[in-house]
Structure 1
Amino acid sequence: MSVRDVRARAVRVRRASVRGVEEAALDWVWAHRDRFALGDDALAADGQVNRTWKPLGELTQVCASVSRSTPPGDPLHTRVSELLDFAWQQTHRGELFPLMQSLEPFATYPLEVYAAFASAGLRHPGYEASAAVVARTRGWRLTEQYPTRRLGVLEAERRSGLPPHGRVPQALDRTWLGGLPEPWTFERAAGYALTHVVFHLTDWGRAARGVPADLADYLLHWLPPWLDTCLDARMWDLSCELLAVAASLPRPLEPAVLDDAWQRVAAAQDTSGAVPEEGAAQDAAGADPGPDPYAFTDCYHSTLMAAFAASLTTARPRDVREGPRPAGRPAGQGAQG
């Protein structure tokens, strides 16, 4: 057997293992889909967005990404398509977005959630027309936001068919990752910020060329030790996001790094398919934890991220070389793949 054959077999084995994580995670999501449903408090003035719209938007974005990464005949494609339809029905097929805008005209989260649906082809022309009016105001352009959030809003505008109110390169330069910081300054908040910068630049893993060459080189060098640190700390949610970043770069990480990381994530995954945000997995020798070993809020996001990262990892041919990448970040060049 040639070296090339050995490497090809290793890739097949890895994909089979990662595919198992993805299938189990989506099984858990499907079984708990009602927990993502919008309640009566979704439009309440004192409603908690992080417990209503945020989980639904995250479900939608992950399912949209998995749908793009799997062929129509794949059972997982059917599963996420059904979940997307479920999520869209929760918004009354988009009718809730104009209502949200009327209640909070300058809140950006409705557009960010809507953009996830729009990326899956689920659109509401009336909302897009009204959002375009608000987006032309000075009040919208001058809303104070963290740099990573600003980048996300620009991408949400683009994906929703609105003219972005700023330029991606300038927004990128103000983020933690965009400044190519000292690697030892990496910590939890910086980790989540950098993963979302890459997600926004690549349209959630769809366009690896959206990552400028200097950032790609920086991440290829420092992502392995950061990932190892998070895995050692049993920060499964952030580890899965970093694995999604790895699968979104123009060039892959070393196979040994990926194999080790996915083995550890698979070991942390519960038999139900749930992946805890952090900490030790349930002790199999202990008392029976029942069908739900973790509270929904303690595992739904990490389980979604496991499915997202696994889908990107299995979909991308690791032995395909990409052409030349952009040398830098020329002014005015966005992240559209």
Structure 2
Amino acid sequence: MTHLPCRHLAQRMASTAIGWLHRHREHGAFPPGTSAELADPNGVYKPLGESALAACLLLRTPASTPADRRLADSLLSFAWEQLGNGALLYERQLRYPAMTDPLEVYAHFARAGYRHDALHELEQYLTGLASHQGSEHLPNRRLAVANAAHVAGLPVHAHWPTLTAATWLGHTPEPWTIDWMTGYAVTHTVFHITDWGAEPHNLRPALSDYLATWLPVWTDIWAEIHEWDLVAELLIAGLCLPDPVGDTGAWQRLAEVQRPDGLMPPDSRPIPDDPDEAFRTGHHTTVVAAIAATLALAHHQQQPVAS
């Protein structure tokens, strides 16, 4: 089985996705003259953080084209400015010290060289507290926070094997018991253990072998019912393994449902005509498509595959 999409398909998917995210960035901006409610966990912060993630991973990948890198750099600058050059993240974290999303969002910018000194100092203090280490998160979320601290250059007060063992994936369970939410938990467990594929050997061999066997099966199941968002996330997880797994058929189906403008629909439901609704519907999956294609391009550069 061929594990990677052809280079041309991956390049087209990455370029059109980052192009769409850049062209529609204003739909994810704060309303003029206002800022998002600091206690809202899923308002403007979430799309800005997701766009920043796609952009910083693209910039991490030398195989990305100069044009795509310019768009990614511009998208990061836009998101950072929307966050008050980090000031809004600092205020949010200061008011709500138990929240972890300010650190997680900040990590995307820190990866690309951005820094907010007061926020960095605050995160360094908070991550050392017993309260932070004992926070009531789902197991894969605890990995997310640990990896964010790692990426941001903060001390990591976590034992990775213990965190991994607590996850569903860490138990290498019966694969047929997986459901939609667990599928997402599995993918994010892989993302954070490997830092989005940068450190694939952080996955212990038993987990890599388990995933190599079952990721293609799960991908096929969710492709059959047109759950494109989860399909794309499963493909990303396959690219994070020491020996990547996947299926060019699944990549081809994903490419076929991506709109010419770059938007990737999350499922088979129609995209709303209203631009704001279309952004809310398609933004996350377009981010995921950009990441998937970017990681595929990185593997092509490391070990070229005939297309």
Match among 279, 286, 289 for residue 296 of structure 1? 279
Indicate yes or no: 2:139 matched with 1:139.
Answer: no
Match of 1:310?
A: 293
What does residue range 65-84 of structure 1 map to in structure 2 within 5 Å? 65-71=57-63, 74-84=66-76
Contact kept in structure 2, 1:269 and 1:281, CA below 8 Å: no
Q: CA deviation at 1:43?
A: 3.8
Task: Find out whether 1:114 has 2:106 as its counterpart.
Answer: yes
Q: In structure 1, how many angstroms separate the alpha carbons of the residues matched to 2:89 and 2:281?
A: 28
2:168 maps to 1:185: no
TM-superposed CA distance for 1:300, in Å, is: 0.5
**2:53–2:108: 8 Å Cα contact kept in structure 1?**
yes
Unaligned runs of 5+ in 1: 1-6, 283-288, 322-337
Ranges in structure 2 where 5+ consecutive residues have no aligned partner:
none
TM-score by length of 1: 0.83
Aligned-residue RMSD, C-alpha: 2.4
Amino acid at match of 2:293: A
1:196 and 2:185 correspond: no
State the distance in 1 between where 2:53 and 2:133 align.
24
Query: Which residue of structure 1 lines up, in the alignment, with residue 253 of structure 2?
Result: 264
Counterpart selection for 2:27 from 35, 39, 48: 35
- CA deviation after TM superposition for structure 1 residue 175, in Å: 0.5
Contact 1:270/1:281, CA 8 A, preserved across alignment: no
With CA pairs under 8 Å and 6+ residues apart, which has the higher RCO, 1 or 2?
Answer: 2
Deviation per CA, 1:65-86, whole angstroms, max 9, x where unpaired?
1111135762111111111111
Residue among 116, 120, 126 paired with 2:118: 126
1:153-302 matched pairs, under 5 angstroms: 153-253=145-245, 258-280=247-269, 292=275, 295-302=278-285
**Residues of 1 paired with 2:137 and 2:269: CA distance?**
35
1:145 maps to a residue whose letter is H
Check conservation: 2:187, 2:234, Cα contact below 8 A: yes
Supply the distance in 2 between the matched residues of 1:159 and 1:103 (Cα, whole angstroms).
23
Contact kept, 8 Å, 1:97 with 1:127, in 2: the verdict is yes
- Cα distance in 2 for partners of 1:108, 1:293 equals 27
- Taking the aligned partners of 2:231 and 2:249, their CA distance within structure 1 comes to 12
Structure (1 or 2) with the larger CA radius of gyration = 1
Q: How big is the shift at 1:292? A: 4.9
Percent of matched pairs sharing the same residue = 36
Q: CA distance change for structure 1 residues 13 and 115 in 2, over 3 Å: closer, same or farther?
A: closer
The runs of at least 4 consecutive aligned structure 1 residues that moved more than 6 Å come to: 10-13
Distance 2:277 2:90 in 1: 35
Q: In structure 2, how many angstroms separate the alpha carbons of the residues matched to 1:182 and 1:277?
A: 27
